[in-house]
A = this chain, B = another copy of it.
Amino acid sequence: MYYPEPIAKLIESFSKLPGIGQKTATRLAFYTIGMEDQDVNEFAKNLLSAKRDLHFCSICGNLTQTDPCEICSDQTRDQSIILVVEEPKDVLAMEKIREYRGLYHVLHGTISPMNGISPDEINVKSLITRLMDSSVEEIIIATNATSDGEATAMYLARMIKPAGIKVTRLARGLAVGSDIEYADEVTLSKAVENRLEL
């Protein structure tokens, strides 16, 4: 005897999600059966709608319902700076600090020689196109502080700098509120190297 087919199929769907194994999928599927009808209908509707109604902005690559996205079409934003991030969620993280007023560009990944991901496979080409016909003065590279993120930053800097555009990168150092005692060695050495005068 196995699970009745409807729940077996639902378990299979849940277990296709990242970080969700057979056991968690089973727990989630059984929980779903006990949920209110309305919540389950809503869940199914939201899944379909997220897949159907969201697109990538044809200019910056961010997730959006309209094309171009709200940020690209907002003329009050500073058109001379583009901040380059790996994923759409990074755009949101930046927007949350309410300080950056320029434009974005979403790469949808990083260059990763280890995993065989070349610059052609991420959203780099359209960034170069944007630089050609616009009045961009600075590119801020905000890829993650991982080895793939660093490699991507280096690659972009080498591509863009010769065009006479300023290329900067987010500062490396101690996270605010963190203890020196628990900082890893690389972070600590970066923090010393990039020390600021008071």
Report which A residues bind B (CB closer than 8 A): 1-7, 9-10, 12-13, 16-20, 24, 26-33, 35, 37, 39-54, 63-65, 70-71, 87-89, 92, 95
Contacts and interface: CB of A to CB of B under 8 A. Distances in A.
Max chain B Cβ within 10 angstroms of own Cβ: one of A3, A6, A28: A6
B71 A9 contact: no
Given A16-B35, A27-B18, A7 B44 contact: no
A17 B46 contact: no
5 contacts: A9-B42, A16-B35, A26-B89, A33-B50, A44-B47
A69 to B, nearest CB: 9
A40 B31 contact: no
A30 B87 contact: yes
- The A interface, classified by DSSP as helix, strand, loop or mixed, is helix
B71 A1 contact: yes
A22 to B, nearest CB: 12
B54 A4 contact: yes
A87 B10 CA distance: 18
Contact of A92 (B2, B35, B50, B70): B2
Copies of this chain per assembly: 2
B1 A13 contact: no
B17 A32 contact: yes
A87 to B, nearest CB: 7
A53 B31 CA distance: 15
Contacts of A43: 13, 16, 47
B4 A63 contact: yes
Contact of A1 (B41, B45, B50, B95): B95
B16 A50 contact: no
B10 A50 contact: yes
Given A33-B63, A71-B1, A49 B6 contact: yes
Contacts of A49: 6, 9-10
